[in-house]
Amino acid sequence: MSEAISQGFIDDYDVNAIRADFPILSELVHGKPLCFLDNGASAQKPQAVIDAIADTYKHCYANVHRGAYAFSEQTTANYEAAREIVRAFLNANSEKEVIFTGNATGAMNLVAHSFGRGLLKEGDEVIISAMEHHSNIVPWQMLRDEKGVELTVAPISDDGTFLLEEFKSMLSEKTKLVAITHVSNVLGSVVPLQEVVEAAHAVGAKVMVDGSQAVMHMPVDVQDLDVDFYIFTGHKLYGPTGIGVLYGKEDLLDKMPPFMGGGDMIASVSYEKSTWAELPAKFEAGTPQIVQAIGLGAAIDYVQSVGLERIAAHEQRLLNYATQRLCAVDGLRLIGTATNKTSVLSFVMDGTHPHDIATIVDRKGVCIRAGHHCAEPLMDRMGVSGTSRASLAMYNTMEEIDTLATALEKVREIFG
Ligand SMILES: *Cc1c(COP(=O)(O)O)cnc(C)c1O
């Protein structure tokens, strides 16, 4: 390893300076430095996000949209400024196309209920992929059971690559929606969205993308991709919990019925009839995630100030090094080795339960996840009951990969 890399510098990417922005990274676990490699489950927060949340509560907090007083107007302006940050982040055409939800799950349920219940009918088909998170499976199953919509699953290869040609051959005029992940939370595989969208649109189907594992690893341009819906969750993008985003094309959102009814989403209400507010309010019933949205805005500003291309380059180097180090551990097998993948390493070890691995490495301060990762059907497809998973973020280092690899060698010793 070159001296520059061992000091934490890669090109001009100063990972130590980035680490200094995340207060939690100086915590100790079991007396050892925190080695946080469970970013796919939730990422840590930079000081800028913590400050944005605390400053809101300390200096300018009120409910939004209905205040006749300056304080509420300022909070409203800050909330709407967060929406503009998200709009620019995704390159959406208009702020009307950015809906705040509670998380990615809330956004997917919104699409399933509103688009699904409102615009689909019996016999219409929804295609998902074999590597979806439960939150992009279960809402469609519920719709299938309620409305008789057909649900089919596009396959992946043994190494976790999305099979584009097989997917294309499944498309027909019955297909009304392709609901697909951008990046697998278990395998890291990146789905070739451009081709998926082009093929789906050719048969008149809409495309909803679950970008929960993508937006922190690569720039996303919804107009360039021409997706109809794009969804992500704030807490995996260094933002707070309790905030998700649904992007939808304006004409489509306009045609969709509301999901939840209540305050803020109406133009007028009488006992006979209510009318709906304009976008985006139509889909934001009740007091919205005011502070969480402001926190998310700060997270996006932070990520943008570092630059997603530079973050991606750093993470790819970490991934290459981690792949090499983990493959050298006796009896360890990576699950998910697609050519185009993000910095996620799922693995199994001969004769060792994934939970035992996570528990043992925890003693060394290493946080990894074990289990089915909210993707039970994918576990079946890969022929495993669960995996251990290290998922790397912008602040992880080569040294932390060494710590993980050493801890896994220790696991090997214990289990022989
Ligand atoms: C985490 C995750 C979700 C769900 O996010 P929530 O914040 O729990 O709603 C959905 N899809 C993928 C791919 C994820 O990784």
- Pair type for strands 32-33 and 366-367: unpaired
Active site residues: 374
337 lines ligand 1 (CB under 6 A): no
The CATH 3.90.1150.10 portion of the chain extends over: 3-33+307-415
Q: How far apart are CA 275 and CA 43, in angstroms?
A: 40
Give the model confidence (pLDDT) of 62-82 as tens digits: 999 777 899 999 999 999 999
Ligand 1 mutation pick, 38, 103, 132, 133, max ligand atoms within 8 A of CB: 133
The tokens describing 275, both together, are 């009318």
Residue with the two structure tokens 């260094």: 238
The tokens describing 148, both together, are 């008789």
pLDDT at 11: 66
Q: How far apart are CA 143 and CA 152, in angstroms?
A: 13
Q: How far apart are CA 347 and CA 359, in angstroms?
A: 15
Structure confidence at residue 415 as a pLDDT band (50, 70, 90): confident
Strand partners, 269: 274
Q: How far apart are CA 57 and CA 82, in angstroms?
A: 16
Give the model confidence (pLDDT) of 329-388 as tens digits: 999 999 999 999 999 999 999 999 999 999 999 999 999 999 999 999 999 999 999 999
CATH topology of domain 3-33+307-415: Aspartate Aminotransferase, domain 1 (3.90.1150)
The CATH 3.40.640.10 portion of the chain extends over: 50-304
Computed over its alpha carbons, how large is the radius of gyration of the chain?
22
pLDDT at 416: 73
- Nearest CA to 223 out of 331, 371, 87, 317 is that of 87
Strand, coil or helix: 92: coil
Nearest residue (CA) to ligand 1, atom 5: 104
Q: How far apart are CA 3 and CA 9, in angstroms?
A: 9
CA 395 to chain centre: 17
Q: What is the mean pLDDT of the chain?
A: 95
Strand, coil or helix: 188: coil
Ligand 1 mutation pick, 129, 134, 135, max ligand atoms within 8 A of CB: 135
101 lines ligand 1 (CB under 6 A): no
Strands (DSSP E) found in 211-296: 229-233, 244-248, 266-269, 274-276
Length of the chain: 416
- In this prediction, what percent of the chain has a pLDDT beyond 90? 95
Q: How far apart are CA 386 and CA 114, in angstroms?
A: 33
Report the 3 state secondary structure along 21-40: CCHHHHCEECCEECEECECC
Q: How far apart are CA 410 and CA 401, in angstroms?
A: 14
CATH-assigned architecture of domain 50-304: 3-Layer(aba) Sandwich (3.40)
